[in-house]
Amino acid sequence: MSALIVTSLSVRYGTHHVLRDVDLDVRQNERVVLFGPSGVGKTVMLRAIAGLEPGAVGQVVLAGRDVSRDPPEARHLGMAFQNFALYPHMPARENIASPLRARKLDTAPIAAKVKSVAELLRIDHVLDHFPRQLSNGQKQRTALARALVGEPKLILFDDPLRNVDAKLRYEMRIELPRLLAKRETAAIYVTQDFREAMAIGDRVAVLIDGEIAQFALADEVYDRPATIAIARLFGDPPMNLIAAHGQARGSGTLVRAAGLVFGFDAAPPREPVFGIRPEAVMLFSEPETGRVAAQIVAVTPMNERYLVLLRTEDGTELVASHDTPPPHGSHIWIGAEPGLGALFDAATGLCVAAAPSSEEIAA
Amino acid sequence: MILKSLRGVALLLVVLFFMFPIFWIVVMSLQTNAEILSLPPKLIFPPTLMNYTALITGHLKTSVGTLNIAFMHNLWNSFLLSALSVIVALVLGVPAAYAFARYKFRLGEDMAFTLLSLKFAPPLLVLLPLSLEFQRVGLDNTYIGLIWIYQLITLPLILWIVRGYFEDASPDIEYAYRVDGHSWLKGFLKIAIPLARPGIAAAVVLSIIPTLAIALYAQRWLVEGLSLGAVKG
Amino acid sequence: MNDIATHPELITAKPARRRANPLPYLLSLPALIVCIGILIPFFTAVWYSLESYNMAFPTGRHFVGIGNYIDLFSSGTFWHTIVVSMVYMGASVIFELLLGLGIALLLRERSKLNNIISVALLMPLMVAPVIASLIWKLMTNPNFGVYAWIVNGLGFTNFGWASSPDTAMFTVILIDMWVNTPFIMILLLAGLRSLPTQPFEAAKLDGVPARFVFFRITLPMLMPYIITATLFRLLSAIQEFSIVYGMTQGGPGDSLMVFQIRSYIDFYQNTNVGRSSAILMVLWAITFGLSKLFVNQWHAMRERSKAGA
């Protein structure tokens, strides 16, 4: 049984379609990331699942139960808001206890559950503080504790790390999957940060213009973006997209891009575009077959990595990203990591094939 | 130096103009009738609480006889009237203020504007026909009639002030409470109302002292917001 | 593998339909009823104003269309009322604005003394206008009033205050100033104190003369506050009733017959409901225009303050 099945969910604000016939399913204990640029309806989708969008049309099935017509209080979800949404007039303890109070539990089990979740999140020492007395990190954890305490089968996270500092974001990125696994809770996690999406999501659903453009394992979205738009969005720095020449060869295509040659298992697209991740662009100080001469235009250190802006002899610009500094000298040779790269058709915007055959590169 | 003393003199005159009448009323309240009527006005006199005792007991003893005044009764009446009016306005106005703040709907905007423009309209425009109609149905000089009339003053005030407070509170807080499993009504009573409590308190005080209302309320957001607006253009 | 495939009943279930939320209507219903309760007398007054209706001769009541309005605008007394109301409104608001601005400038610096004074100056605002006129009536009483005695002592032996047609307007405007200047003062003070400091510092560095700073920087930046305060005061001054009624009931003669007093007297003394209502409708038209301006200004400022915050 799935934790959640959403079928043809639509939300319209006036004449503007925020969501258009969206389908989504979340398996038990699975973490699905809802990824997309700001303003594409990620939050609206979460709110519709929670029952907070009165105008939503479509079906929402939670743990086998159709809740499409149920008010939010009957859906038994956990939710963490971007702005924490703590109750300012209640101490942290009461904030966390709120879902249990709604179920009219007795005082003793409430106290025990609050204590255990607070210990798990290491906020048991601030339970008597009011939200205004808490640090941002503690507010964050209080909000998480409130979402977790009722042991819901599904928790909705609305970009919860957006408003916290980098250190805390890094911490939570590691801690959150562990926590969710421990509580055996499925989650939908909204973010526009692809690192967060990769760190937290088992699967990633990419939402663009009110529709799900791709819904696949995180690695697959990374290695084989379904569309050029996704390739541009998902990744920092994004995938290099290079206009290429395609030529039919057998049932496949021989693609030339920036002087490099790749073989793909698909018929030649109308307007071939070759995509390669910056990490898959290899840098060499020596020429060899299958390598192309290039010039280093700029080197920018970023997060213990080096971003290298390159220009090949045919004028193509591309970015490489490595955790070691590039070879000395401004003239180097580049190659592609075997098996990495994707072929798009600019005419349709779709991905045609991925994982070029490595023997072809040598050819 | 000259400027500074000029400023001092100006301030002194200002304080004198605005404070002297109040000071003088206090002085007169501590004088006997004869002292009040004497010219030149007396500044040095044995203060008496006679007038205050008269207010409380309801009998003012003068040289010509005892005058009965219904001050305490009137005070109690006007207190009761204000309190009841404010309570009625709260019960009617707070849910509506919430609706106007949380849901954008045509009727809401129309009502808000109608009530506000009626508040600014000449009071007699409503009072005179009401007094005629009230006479007809026997509501004149009754609490119900007067409370109805008072809604003209208190309801718009409560609507507009409390609405602002509801608008300022993030709806996410109420959403979170509902996702926790609480009904809408519970969220309204346990989250929305407590968060708007300062606004409700302000509206209550201000509907009892109407002119002060605009000045202080205006100041709240003027100071908070307009300065920022001015900086950012 | 797919749950939808293994649960076909989920597909056949009807999707939830979009429907209008009744909650906001339910919540505003009680207020709506009162709103209508207040609107009924308003429309009653509109109806009265189109009738020839005298309470003393209820049988003669009949519809006259705009007859009352034609009568009003062709009568000298009504034009007199318009003039008196406009003079009262114009003079009181101008003087209050100048005085209020002056005081706000005096109290601009944040200091303990200034704060105490600004709070103390709010006291007249807390006095009900009827009480204010009573206080001033006592103080200007020719027999024992302290102000009457002082003015007399200064040599103005025939200063009649509210009882003389020559000085009645002056007296009520003075009282209006006493009651309402603090309102303008506190608003402008709040405005002055929240102005950004950079332009003033820059002007100081450049050695710009004080007069220039005032007219080119302070005044333009304060304008939104001034407009708000002015509109609000215009709105209440054109309708002034309590102070004038408390002091003179519109007299002496008809020297202070402002709109609402003229209407009140027509209603209660002359029992002419039709004409009284027509006068109020004319006043209402004026205030409606002003209040529209005021509400727009108010919204614009609130929006701007929200955008800033």
Rank A123-137, A250-264, B130-144, C54-68 by mean pLDDT and report only the highest: A123-137
Least-confidence region, from A184-193, A247-256, B63-72: B63-72
pLDDT at residue C10, as a whole number: 40
Task: For chain C, list the contacting chains (3+ Cβ pairs, <8 Å).
Answer: A, B
Would you call A47 an interface residue with chain B, using a CB distance cutoff of 8 Å? yes
Side by side, the strands of the sheet bearing A272-276 are: A240-243, A272-276, A342-345, A350-354
Residue of C23, C260, C305 with shortest CB distance to B229: C305
Residue B224 predicted with pLDDT over 50: no
pLDDT at residue C307, as a whole number: 61
Helix H or strand E segment including C52: strand C51-52
Task: For chain A, list the contacting chains (3+ Cβ pairs, <8 Å).
Answer: B, C
- C113 Cβ contact partners less than 8 Å away, ≥ 6 residues apart: none
CA angle, C100 then C105 then C111, to 5°: 115
pLDDT at residue B62, as a whole number: 64
How many residue contacts between A and C have a Cβ separation below 8 Å?
38
In chain A, residues with a C-beta closer than 8 Å to the C-beta of B177 are 87, 98
Residue A41 predicted with pLDDT over 90: no
Q: How far is A162 from chain B (nearest CA, A)?
A: 15
Instruction: Tell me the pLDDT band of A358, cut-offs 50, 70 and 90.
Output: low
Q: How far is A69 from chain C (nearest CA, A)?
A: 6
**Is the sign of the CA dihedral C236, C238, C241, C242 positive or negative?**
positive
Is residue C200 helix, strand or coil?
helix
pLDDT at residue C290, as a whole number: 87
Chain A nearest-CA residue for C17: A57
Q: How far is B170 from chain A (nearest CA, A)?
A: 8
How many residue contacts between A and B have a Cβ separation below 8 Å?
65
Mean pLDDT rounded to a whole number for chain A: 89
CB contact under 8 A, C42 and B118: yes
Residue of C45, C55, C235 with shortest CB distance to B125: C45
- B49 Cβ contact partners less than 8 Å away, ≥ 6 residues apart: B30
Mean pLDDT rounded to a whole number for chain B: 78
Kindly provide the ipTM of the predicted complex, given to two decimals. Answer: 0.84
Q: How far is B194 from chain A (nearest CA, A)?
A: 8
Q: Which domains does chain C have, with CATH numbers?
A: 77-308 (1.10.3720.10)
Least-confidence region, from A150-154, B157-161, C179-183: B157-161
Chain C from 56 to 95: CB within 8 A of any B CB: none
Q: How far is A167 from chain B (nearest CA, A)?
A: 26
Would you call A339 an interface residue with chain B, using a CB distance cutoff of 8 Å? no
CB contact under 8 A, A7 and C16: no
Chain B from 37 to 76: CB within 8 A of any C CB: 37-41
- C266 Cβ contact partners less than 8 Å away, ≥ 6 residues apart: C272, C275, C276, C279
Higher pLDDT, C250 or A272: A272
Residue of C2, C3, C15 with shortest CB distance to A59: C15
Residue B131 predicted with pLDDT over 80: no
Among C2, C6, C14, C18, the residue to mutate for chain A (most A Cβ within 10 A): C18
In chain B, residues with a C-beta closer than 8 Å to the C-beta of C309 are 224-225, 228
pLDDT at residue B161, as a whole number: 81
Among C27, C200, C291, C298, the residue to mutate for chain B (most B Cβ within 10 A): C27
Q: Percent of chain A having pLDDT more than 90?
A: 45
pLDDT at residue C141, as a whole number: 82
Would you call B226 an interface residue with chain C, using a CB distance cutoff of 8 Å? yes
Compute the average pLDDT of residues A299-304: 83
Residue of C25, C122, C178 with shortest CB distance to B107: C25
Chain A nearest-CA residue for C19: A55
Q: Which domains does chain B have, with CATH numbers?
A: 2-69 (no CATH), 73-232 (1.10.3720.10)
Instruction: Tell me the pLDDT band of A95, cut-offs 50, 70 and 90.
Output: very high
CB contact under 8 A, C187 and B22: no
Q: Which domains does chain A have, with CATH numbers?
A: 4-226 (3.40.50.300), 231-362 (2.40.50.140)
Instruction: Tell me the pLDDT band of B26, cut-offs 50, 70 and 90.
Output: confident
SS (H, E, C) chain A: CCCEEEEEEEEEECCEEEEEEEEEEECCCCEEEEECCCCCCHHHHHHHHHCCCCCCEEEEEECCEECCCCCHHHCCCEEECCCCCCCCCCCHHHHHHHHHHHCCCCHHHHHHHHHHHHHHCCCHHHCCCCHHHCCHHHHHHHHHHHHHHCCCCEEEEECCCCCCCHHHHHHHHHHHHHHHHHHCCEEEEEECCHHHHHHHCCEEEEEECCEEEEEEEHHHHHHCCCEHHHHHHCCCCCCEEEECEEEEECCEEEEEECCEEEEECCCCCCCEEEEECHHHEEEECCCCCCCEEEEEEEEEEECCEEEEEEEECCCCEEEEEECCCCCCCCEEEEEECCCCCEEEECCCCEEEEECCEHHHHHC
Chain B from 141 to 170: CB within 8 A of any C CB: 148, 151-152, 155, 159, 164
- B75 Cβ contact partners less than 8 Å away, ≥ 6 residues apart: none
pLDDT tens-place values along chain C, 309 residues long: 344 444 443 433 344 444 567 888 888 888 888 888 878 888 888 988 888 888 778 787 888 888 889 888 888 889 999 999 999 999 999 999 999 999 999 998 888 888 888 888 888 887 777 788 888 888 888 778 888 888 888 877 777 788 888 888 999 999 999 999 998 998 888 888 888 888 888 888 888 888 888 888 888 888 888 888 898 899 889 988 888 888 888 878 888 888 888 888 888 888 888 888 999 999 999 988 888 888 788 777 767 666 654
Chain C nearest-CA residue for A61: C10
Would you call C22 an interface residue with chain B, using a CB distance cutoff of 8 Å? no
pLDDT at residue B220, as a whole number: 46
* One-letter amino acid of A134: L
The pLDDT tens digits for A52-61 are 988 889 999 9
Q: Percent of chain B having pLDDT more than 90?
A: 16
CB contact under 8 A, C34 and B211: no
In chain B, residues with a C-beta closer than 8 Å to the C-beta of C144 are 36-39, 41
Residue bearing tokens 């003033």? C200
In chain A, residues with a C-beta closer than 8 Å to the C-beta of B188 are none
In chain B, residues with a C-beta closer than 8 Å to the C-beta of A77 are 179
DSSP label at residue B41: P
CB contact under 8 A, A87 and B175: no
Q: How far apart are the C-alpha atoms of C286 and C292, rounded to whole Å?
A: 10
Residue of C3, C15, C21 with shortest CB distance to A5: C3
Higher pLDDT, C17 or B88: B88
CB contact under 8 A, C239 and B125: no
Residue of C21, C37, C263 with shortest CB distance to B148: C37
In chain C, residues with a C-beta closer than 8 Å to the C-beta of A72 are none
pLDDT at residue C20, as a whole number: 62
Rank A108-112, A195-199, A291-295, C204-208 by mean pLDDT and report only the highest: A108-112
CB contact under 8 A, A79 and B179: yes
Q: How far is C1 from chain B (nearest CA, A)?
A: 30
In chain A, residues with a C-beta closer than 8 Å to the C-beta of C1 are none
Q: Using an 8 Å Cβ cutoff, are C240 and C292 in contact?
A: no
Q: How far apart are the C-alpha atoms of B105 and C23, rounded to whole Å?
A: 11
